[in-house]
Each structure stands twice: as structure tokens, then as C-alpha cells.
Amino acid sequence: MTDKQKQLAWGLAGAAVLILLPLAVIALRRWGLVEDPGHDLPGRVYGVAAGLIIAAYGNIAPRKLVRYDPGSPRPARRQAAIRFSGRVFVLAGLANAAIWATITPIDTAALLSMVPLVLALLLVFHRCARLRTERA
Amino acid sequence: MSSVFKALADPIRRQVLAYLRERPLSAGELAERFDVSKPTMSAHFSVLREAGLIDASKHGKSIVYRLKMSVLEEALMELAQAVGLDMARTETPAPPPTKEEKT
């Protein structure tokens, strides 16, 4: 299996998890195997899974994206930016999942869950901009 | 995962990873930062490569190493550094045999 095929397989597996997990929760609820007093469990499970997938992608990003390019004028900065992004998205994904799991009602959780992701994006843009302007 | 712990247990290998966190470096650039023989250094590189923590690519005559650690592995390394994990002082890899030893 080539790297591209592996990436595609992992992407499809992630998508399958996001679709099948809430469906499984709906089925379990129908059969009376799980209680869902707030009628929001499938949505929460979807949110937690999405947060964990973001964290998982953040975790492997430095492994997959850092390459040695002899033509690159600033390999250190490129590597620093990718490693920083990976760490930030691991934390943001975990925070996102924790918000979906704990905050009630679900509408508030949906709104608040965006905060760590937006913050992560802003932090990464800020870091990249700083690395671009820093003196070698 | 045990190969990762084994690789992170040695202070020299952790130091190699720390240098590679700054930027990709050639085998020569890395070797000159340590007071150990080249065969020993090469054995350390092998352990790190087997654990999947670094990647090597050939550019001209030199081999360039780059870090290939996930965020979790990097956190483990920082933890090992912080608690002074030093279990592999006793298991520094033997350098590969020289030509004379092979014959």
C-alpha cells in the first residue's frame, strides 16, 4: 500500500467512524440499551469523535509533514511551524471533545466547541507569521 | 511501542532527537556534536530509525536525518528528559563490527 493509499484509507476510516458511531448510538437507544434523557447522545458522540479525530491528525502531522527539502531556505522554521501546529491541534481536538462530552445543553456545547478550534487556527497563523518575519 | 521506549531511554539518543528538533542535520554534523566513535553513533542512529523516530535520506555524499516523531512521542521524550530516565546507560548499542572483526 502506498502512502497516498494509506492516507485515503485512514480518511475513509475516520469518515466511517463519524457516520457509524452516532448511528450505533441511535440503534442502541431504540433497543433500550442506553439511556438518553436529554435526547442528544448521538450528537454528542459525533462531536466527541470529531474532536478525537482532530487530535489524532494533529498527533501524526509532524511525523507525516516534516520532510527534508535541500532546496528549502529555512528547513528549521518549516519544521518548527509544523511541530507547533501538531501540538496545538492535539490540545484543541482534546478540548473540543471534552466540551462535547461535558457541557450542557448541547447547543451551548456546539457553540463552545468551536472556540478551541478557532483559537488553534489563530495561534498557528500567528506562529507562522512570526516565524516568517524572524531573522535567520 | 517498546522500541520507542528503548530508543528514548538512552541520553545520547535523546540528545540526538533534541538536536533534530531544531532542524534536519547530516550524520556528520550530528556525529561531531558527540564525543563517541562514528560506529557507536551509527548504531544509535539505527536504533532511532528502527523505532521510527527519525528518517534518513541521502543527499549527495551525506545522509541527512530528520525528526519523525508524533506529538505523543515528543511528549514521552520530554517526560523521559524531565524524570532523567537513564535506564539504557547499561545498554548502549554495540557498534557494528569492523572489517577486521568480520573476517
pLDDT of B91 reads: 47
Give the CATH number of domain B2-87; options: 3.40.50.150, 1.10.10.10, 3.40.190.10, 3.50.50.60.
1.10.10.10
B96: left (phi over 0), alpha (psi -120 to 50) or beta: beta
Contact present, A66 and A38 (Cβ < 8 Å): no
Pick from A63, A67, A90: CB nearest B69: A63
| Overall number of domains in chain A | 1
Compute the mean pLDDT over every residue in chain B, rounded to the nearest whole number.
Answer: 81
ipTM of the prediction greater than 0.90, yes or no? no
Higher-pLDDT residue of A66 and B17 is B17
Domain ranges of chain B: 2-87
pLDDT of B13 reads: 92
pLDDT for B94 beyond 70: no
Query: Which triple of cell numbers denotes residue A84?
Result: 507547533
pLDDT for B89 beyond 50: no
CB contact under 8 A, B74 and A68: no
Region B40-60: what's the mean pLDDT? Answer: 91
Q: What are phi and psi of A6, to 5 degrees?
A: -65, -45
Contacts of A66 in chain B (CB under 8 A): 66-68
Q: Which domain holds residue A43?
A: 3-133
Say how far apart CA A120 and CA A41 lie, in whole Å.
26
pTM: predicted TM-score of the whole model, two decimal places? 0.80
